[in-house]
Amino acid sequence: MKYAKLSQTEDLMPTLGLGTWQAPPEVIETTVYKALDLGYRHIDTAFNYNNEEAIGNAIKRWIQDGKGTRKDLFITTKLPHVGNRAADVKRFLHLQLGRLQMDYVDLYLIHVPFGFRCDPDTLTPLVKENGDYDIDMETDHISTWKAMEECQREGLIRNLGLSNFNETQILKIINSATIKPQVLQVELHAYFQQLDLRKFCMEHEIVVTAYAPLGSPGAKEHFVNKYNYSPDVFPDLLGHPEVKDIARNHGKTPAQVLLRFLVQQKVIVIPKSTSDHRLKENSDIYDFELLPAEINRLKKLDKGEDSRVFNFLFWKGVEKHPEYPFKLQTVDTSKD
């Protein structure tokens, strides 16, 4: 395993992690145990993925079986949109630590910069009669961050970070923080390379994690069926001729090339898989190197903002939140 050093704590973050979105608890428990056996040491989850407890079970069992210690692992989870306020940080973190069955997490991210009002019984967003999500107009990043800093001082979190924030929002936190963001997790793949944001992060010693590093093939079915998106907006990166050609040159798969392309540029990757052979395939990315010419070919695939898959517009009305982070495209993503 290779690692990136986090600037303030000097903690080592494995450059490959296991993504777990859309992985149901009954499946992910077995997957995480197998992933740890294969050498994965970094697991990415979130309150919203509804699988923290199963992941905790797997980790606990793996440690009890004498295969490693908690210190060998790097566990990331995220403060949900319904808990995105100072008063709720500790409450959610304690709940999540309980589910994960651990005393601390290695990285705690604010999942999204906007917040929704929370149904206290289900801990899910309140939705208005017109179908719009009930936006929390009081979202205040600075006070939320201060509450996260307090949790870090208490030893409940090793490192703090952000997800889906834009440069302006990150800068505002940097300027008022005692403990600066160590990691930014954003959508990042060959079609959407986020060059400006990566440059900004490098200048501020923030490590970038790529979510959807394979272009999130699983999101397509989810968004098309659940949220009525048009299938045309989803990238087929794994089938791209350039990617396939480079893969052939190295005797590797398109997925391995897409992941290698990012880690070779110092971006952390967290591909999700619950398939035994793809889990193994995605971890075999350290025994080959892409040539500068190949990196340049892949760099040319960047389509910028047009290729963003995760704009969160599936949460109806989210764009009306004052902290909605993205510039809206004119393209209509819904089916007629």
Ligand X SMILES: NC(=O)c1ccc[n+]([C@@H]2O[C@H](COP(=O)([O-])OP(=O)(O)OC[C@H]3O[C@@H](n4cnc5c(N)ncnc54)[C@H](OP(=O)(O)O)[C@@H]3O)[C@@H](O)[C@H]2O)c1
Q: Left if phi > 0, otherwise alpha if psi is -120 to 50, otherwise beta: which for 128?
A: beta
Among 114, 191, 211, 315, binds ligand X (CB under 6 A): 211
Q: Report if residue 185 touches ligand X, rule: CB under 6 A.
A: yes
Among 21, 40, 108, 165, binds ligand X (CB under 6 A): 21
Residues from 312 through 331 that contact ligand X (CB under 6 A):
none
Q: Are 285 and 101 in contact (CB under 8 A)?
A: no
Among 44, 52, 106, 136, binds ligand X (CB under 6 A): 44
Among 273, 283, 307, 311, binds ligand X (CB under 6 A): 273
Between CA 266 and CA 295 the distance in angstroms is 13
SS3 135: strand
Task: Lay out the site mask for ligand X across 115-154 (x = CB under 6 A, - = otherwise).
Answer: ----------------------------------------
DSSP, residue by residue, 200-241: HHHHTT-EEEEESTT--HHHHHHHHHHH-B-GGGS--GGG-H
Question: Is 49 designated active site?
Answer: yes
Q: Left if phi > 0, otherwise alpha if psi is -120 to 50, otherwise beta: which for 148?
A: alpha
Q: What are the residues whose beta carbons fall under 8 Å from the beta carbon of 269, sequence distance 6 or more? A: 15, 16, 17, 209, 210, 213, 259, 262, 263
**Residue that the structure tokens 């973050």 belong to:** 13
Among 213, 234, 235, 325, binds ligand X (CB under 6 A): 213
Candidate list 33, 40, 49, 229, residue with the active-site label? 49
CB of 76 to ligand X, least distance (A): 8
Smaller CB separation from ligand X, 121 or 323? 323
Phi and psi for 234 in degrees, rounded to 5?
A: -100, 130
Q: In sequence order, which ranges of the chain are alpha helices (DSSP H)?
A: 25-38, 52-64, 86-100, 141-153, 167-176, 195-203, 217-227, 241-250, 254-263, 276-283, 292-299
Q: Are 61 and 73 in contact (CB under 8 A)?
A: no
Q: Report if residue 282 touches ligand X, rule: CB under 6 A.
A: yes
User: Using CB under 6 A, which of the segments 19-27, 52-60, 65-73, 320-328 binds ligand X?
Assistant: 19-27
Q: Report if residue 255 touches ligand X, rule: CB under 6 A.
A: yes
Among 81, 240, 252, 272, binds ligand X (CB under 6 A): 272
Q: Report if residue 310 touches ligand X, rule: CB under 6 A.
A: yes
User: β-strands 118-119, 124-125: how paired?
Assistant: antiparallel
Q: Report if residue 80 touches ligand X, rule: CB under 6 A.
A: no
User: With CB under 6 A, what is the number of residues at the site for ligand X?
Assistant: 29
CB of 256 to ligand X, least distance (A): 7
Contacts with ligand X by CB under 6 A lie at: 19-21, 44, 111, 163-164, 185, 211-219, 238, 255, 270-275, 278, 281-282, 310
Catalytic residues: 49
